[in-house]
Amino acid sequence: MFSWFANPHRFLMLSSWLAPLFYAAAALLIAWGLWQGLWMVPKDDYQGGDIMRVMFIHVPAAWLAMASYLGMAVMSFVWFIWRHEVADIAAKAIAPLGATWTALCLATGAIWGKPTWGTWWQWDDARMMSVLFMFFLFLGYIALRAAMDTRQKAARAGAILAMVGALNVPLIKFSVDLFTSLHQDASVITTEGPKMAAVYLWPLLISSVGHSLLFAALVMTLMRAEIWTRRAAQSRARLMTGD
């Protein structure tokens, strides 16, 4: 199955109509989720009143930050084992977007944390530090690829860093259970089911789907740009060699 999608020509054909569809769906879902979350749902005084509404941005950003790093690591693994170039292109495209959503997660977390916990940041909090470390892993991946003098070296070095760094993702997920943390326990994905009231849960989930679709559309856009850039470079190289 992946071999079919690993063909750049097939990917370009599929993404030419799938990306615009994802952009449109993402705009509608994010708009509806934010409208519900920021204006329609009742404020939760236990969570700090109106400031809790930032969770409709913070939580999707947090989920997507972790999912994007796992996606980058999986695509790096696929390239490392089977040398599918589209997998490397996907990993490269995910990195700056993952860094962006991780930064959004950190920023909105600080905004939510100040009135709720009385501090913007807690250096000994395992959840905060592991997410910050993931942000630096994204930046490190981007910088490492840029420092390599060939595309193959860049792909190999980036793949190794992405795969090793994936060990941090389970730490983020279970940090509130393993260590002392200001963060509350999981309230959506639990063994007993969601602990959050439906009036908050549905806008949160719909907003999360919207963020995911937007992320996927942006990844496809960056991948398309990278494929065309590589094709243009190959054409220039052929012209220069006279082939």
pLDDT digits (tens, 9 = 90+) for 66-118: 999 999 999 999 999 999 999 999 999 999 999 999 999 999 999 999 888 88
User: What is the per-residue pLDDT for 221?
Assistant: 98
Domain-located, residue 238: no
User: What is the per-residue pLDDT for 233?
Assistant: 87
Domain span including residue 138: 18-40+49-184+193-233
Give me the percent of the chain exceeding a pLDDT of 90. Answer: 69
User: What is the per-residue pLDDT for 197?
Assistant: 84
Sign of the torsion angle spanned by Cα atoms 17, 22, 23, 25? positive
Closest CA to 155 of 66, 225, 81, 237: 81
Closest CA to 145 of 204, 208, 79: 79
Domain-located, residue 74: yes
Domain-located, residue 122: yes
Give me the percent of the chain exceeding a pLDDT of 70. Answer: 91
pLDDT digits (tens, 9 = 90+) for 148-205: 999 999 999 999 999 999 999 999 988 877 777 777 776 766 666 676 788 889 999 9
User: What is the per-residue pLDDT for 182?
Assistant: 77
Instruction: Pull the structure tokens for residue 230.
Output: 């590589």
Q: Fill in the DSSP letter of residue 7.
A: S
Q: Could you please report the per-residue DSSP string of 105-124?
A: HHHHHHHHHHHHHS-S--TT
Residue 40: pLDDT band (50, 70, 90) is: confident
Per residue, the 3-state secondary structure of 9-37, as one string, reads HHHHHHHHHHHHHHHHHHHHHHHHHHHHH
Domain-located, residue 3: no
What's the mean pLDDT when you consider all of the chain? 90
Residue 46: pLDDT band (50, 70, 90) is: low
Contact predicate 157/148, CB 8 Å? yes
Domain-located, residue 239: no
Q: How many distinct structural domains can be found in the chain?
A: 1
- What whole-number distance in Å separates Cα of residue 208 and Cα of residue 83? 32
Domain-located, residue 22: yes
Q: What is the mean pLDDT of residues 196-222?
A: 94
Contact predicate 53/43, CB 8 Å? yes
Domain-located, residue 5: no
Domain-located, residue 2: no
More confident residue, 199 or 221: 221
Whether 232 shows a pLDDT value over 80: the answer reads yes
Residue 18: pLDDT band (50, 70, 90) is: very high
Run of H or E residues at 150: none
| Three-state DSSP class for residue 148 | coil
